[in-house]
Amino acid sequence: MTFIRVGAIEPRKYQQDIARSVLEKGSSLVVLPTGLGKTILALLVIDEVLAKGRKILFLSPTKPLAEQHARKMRESLQMPAENIVLLTGETAAGKRGEEWKKAIIIVATPQTVENDLKKGTGSLEGYGLCIFDEAHRTVGKYAYTFVAEECKKHGVKALGLTASPGADKKKIEEIMATLEIENVEMRNEADEDVAPYVKQLDARWIEVELPKAYKDLLVPLEALIEKRMKTMRKLGYLFPNAKRVGKGVLMQVQGRILREKDSWRKFRALSLHATLMNLLHAHELLETQGISTFREFFKRMEGRREKSKAVQGILEDESIQEMLAKGAGVNEEHPKLNLLRGLVAEKGKTYIVFVQYRDQVKKIVEVLKGAGVNARLFLGKKEGITQKSQQQTIEAFRKGEFNVLVASSIGEEGLDIPTVDCVIFYEPVASEIRSIQRRGRAGRAKAGEVVFLITKGTKDEVAYWIAKKKEKRMRKIVAGWNEKAKIKAVDEDRAGKIEGAVKRAVKTKGQSKITDF
């Protein structure tokens, strides 16, 4: 018996193998790069669970993702559409109880399910499987964690899907523990069973030199940063020999400051911390983005109605005032912009340009349009863009109404963005999860290209190599965990055989030999 419509999917061998492993070994984490069909293997598992008379809960972190999965379920499965229920924050609270009762498959955002389970509107009775899409989010206080705990109580197996669980060993262990993972299936593009289905993806990086005018502006900024760092070292929050300290290290330092019992030291250190975070951010914008975004940052700072002591101190600093006055006369844009114009000039190709900061997204679209390039921006709700508008932009991109999508991080995770000819990192990101997700937008249905734009001697280079190192570490950690799980399973199987043989030997009063293990 199968619930999958004939011709709805064409499962590949590795998807079938992974699905079989999940069904045989229990709660599983599947690590598979974007574009290699996590949803199809999920359907194969769903089909078997449905055949056993059990219900399915499919969780996705955002409403557009949940809608996308619900649509795929209805297209692929032979069952009344009303039995495949979509639950999001927009579903009326009074209606959700009835939806839970009639559902065989619920596709939902985790916050919605958490609320319903707490209120008693929904129940996990009769459910056999819960799928956690983008399972790397199953940490801390995120709603996935609550739902996972409820699944354990009701004996509901978990299937976690992700392109990368991260490179932090503790985080991976937390995901494993929360979902009670018994089995890990990991594949990448180079694996023997996956390689035949992967199109060629060429990756290259292009270096640019920071203009002299930019370097001159950085001199007073770096002097001020070093002065503040020296004070932070004296307060004991940084190692004396710490050279270049980034925002990541400072975020860790913040936790130590907040635990400080001396209120005077605490207040002084927090103000100093805020100053350094702002100065380092300004430094990064000038190095990796450009003078326009750099100036916009200070303009926004000046425009705040209520300015903190840290912000006030920055704006009143003479060296900062001199730097901004000098910067007002700099009209040279970052060399990445000129480079980008040339990279996206071919009208017969499609491109996604990933950009870290929204001001730069807007600037890039403005510059590209001015050069005759058919480009549109793609921003998130934080930038005031509604989900409806996002979906309209994606649909227009799919139809070929424009060929260059300039996106913030909203374009990285899960959304049904069509495959493109080329993905461009306007700046590398230090996160291996985000790097894998971005790369996965190219090279699916056809050969593709990934290009990294890197400003020599800046954070760009550091971020590129950090992501590479983290990705390698992630694969090593997950592979190591899986080997331990396999050894444990073999040991448990052997122990079970020994126990059985001993019992048989006792039952036959010692006449049988223990040789069948």
Q: How far apart are CA 481 and CA 186, in angstroms?
A: 11
The string of DSSP letters for 326-349 reads HHTT--PPPHHHHHHHHHT--TTS
Predicted confidence (pLDDT) per residue in 104-118, tens digit:
999 999 999 999 999
Locate 173 and state its tokens: 């262990």
Q: Which residue carries 């995770």 as its tokens?
A: 413
Long-range pairs for 367-372: beta carbons < 8 A, 24 or more residues apart: 367/333, 367/337, 367/340, 367/341, 368/340, 368/341, 368/344, 368/404, 368/406, 371/341
Indicate the pTM of the whole model. Answer: 0.81
Interhelix angle 291-302/318-327, nearest 10 degrees: 130
Q: Is the pLDDT of residue 509 over 60?
A: no
Q: How far apart are CA 375 and CA 368, in angstroms?
A: 7
What's the mean pLDDT in 374-380?
90
Predicted confidence (pLDDT) per residue in 158-200, tens digit:
999 998 888 888 888 999 999 999 999 998 888 899 888 887 7
Predicted confidence (pLDDT) per residue in 77-104, tens digit:
999 999 999 999 888 888 889 999 999 9
Q: How far apart are CA 442 and CA 38, in angstroms?
A: 16
Banded model confidence at residue 262, pLDDT cuts 50, 70, 90: confident
- Greatest Cα pair distance in the chain: 97
Average pLDDT along the chain: 87
Lowest mean pLDDT among 84-93, 349-358, 381-390, 486-495: 486-495
- pLDDT confidence of residue 420: 86
